[in-house]
Amino acid sequence: MTAPATRAVTVRVPAKVNVQLAVGAARPDGFHDLANVFLAVSLFDEVTATPAEALTVSCAGPDADQVPLDRSNLAARAAELLAARHGIEPAVHLHIAKNIPVAGGMAGGSADGAAALLACDTLWGLDSPREELLDICAELGSDVPFSFVGGAALGTGRGELLVPVEAGTFHWVFAVADGGLSTPAVFREFDRLAEAEGRAVPEPVASPVLLAALASGDAGALGASLTNDLQAAAVSLRPSLAATLDAGLGGGAVAALVSGSGPTTAFLVADEVAAAKVVAALEGAGVCRATRVAVGPVPGAVVLSA
Ligand code: ATP
């Protein structure tokens, strides 16, 4: 154990986009097996942990009013789980500087859980082995381990069994929608559509073509192989997303897809110049609340200052 930090510890953590999201049929426990290819992108939240009398959470940023500040916040749950493992009190204040869209399909809550875990581990001087922190991440939620490790990875199971994969650098534009979509509601819509269409849902498998395209850094190749099995369900629940996807493609995006369970939409672009054109097209068409430009892959949770 190292000496506990007495000052604030700030951890920066990225959002993710799924370049492949393959969804299997609903399991008896209600979960779905997934084959998920995650890419961490340069849209970041920052979580700052400071010593306090008791566990408290605050949040600032454009969507801050939609973030729960009680113990249901994944950052708070991370602090509680870590403290419980070590038999200590979670006496910490967690401040979230929120830039990742809330309920946007970019794993913002998961990102804050991963960031809070690393921030508290550092603040409390626990020096937990990485495997132990990853165990807690998996307990917090299926996307949390990826938020912790970042980069590019293939996730199987519920998404939490991770293997790093190679990735070149890609440029993205994200269109932030008004309001969120509930991830469980999108999965329910996926099940409903499959049943209504009498479609057998195949086993989810990672696409070798997509993995090769990701490794190559060739935006055209990746654009041709992006897939999201939740896209039809997200568009079914939020039909206006179709116009957003069209507007970005009309602006010259190489490819467009719904990010995870949506409603954020993701546009793969050739470079920064193309990104500016897609931003202009999306904003000109008035089909989103805000746009963000990002690159990926980027590292996972990192301590900025302690
Ligand atoms: P995913 O892509 O992992 O499915 P998401 O990006 O769609 O998730 P989140 O931003 O993680 O969605 O938020 C989903 C819900 O989680 C929110 O509506 C909110 O009630 C809850 N939540 C808990 N902790 C947080 C947090 N730190 N930040 C945002 N939302 C949180």
**Cα angle for residues 104, 110, 116 (degrees, 5° grid):** 135
DSSP secondary structure string for all residues of 228-279: ETTHHHHHHH-TTHHHHHHHHHHTT-SEEEE-TTSSSEEEEESSHHHHHHHH
List alpha helices for the chain, DSSP H: 74-85, 108-123, 130-140, 144-149, 183-196, 208-216, 219-225, 231-237, 241-250, 272-285
Q: Whose CA is nearest to atom 11 of ligand 1?
A: 109
73: Cβ below 6 Å to ligand 1?
A: yes
Extract the tokens encoding 156. Answer: 């199987």
Taking 80 as the threshold, does the pLDDT of residue 1 lie above it?
Answer: no
What is the Å distance from ligand 1's center to 279 Cα? 25
According to the model, what pLDDT value does residue 228 have? 97
The answer to whether the predicted template modeling score (pTM) of the entire model surpasses 0.85 is yes
Taking 80 as the threshold, does the pLDDT of residue 238 lie above it?
Answer: yes
pLDDT band at 6 (very low <50, low <70, confident <90, very high): low
- pLDDT one-digit tens code per residue, 140-166: 998 999 999 999 999 987 766 799 999
pLDDT band at 5 (very low <50, low <70, confident <90, very high): low
What is the Å distance from ligand 1's center to 199 Cα? 30
Ligand 1 atom closest to the CA of 112, numbered from 1: 27
Q: Whose CA is nearest to atom 9 of ligand 1?
A: 103
261: Cβ below 6 Å to ligand 1?
A: yes
What is the Å distance from ligand 1's center to 221 Cα? 31
Ligand 1 atom closest to the CA of 262, numbered from 1: 7
Q: How far apart are CA 288 and CA 169, in angstroms?
A: 25
155: Cβ below 6 Å to ligand 1?
A: no
Q: How far apart are CA 152 and CA 155, in angstroms?
A: 10
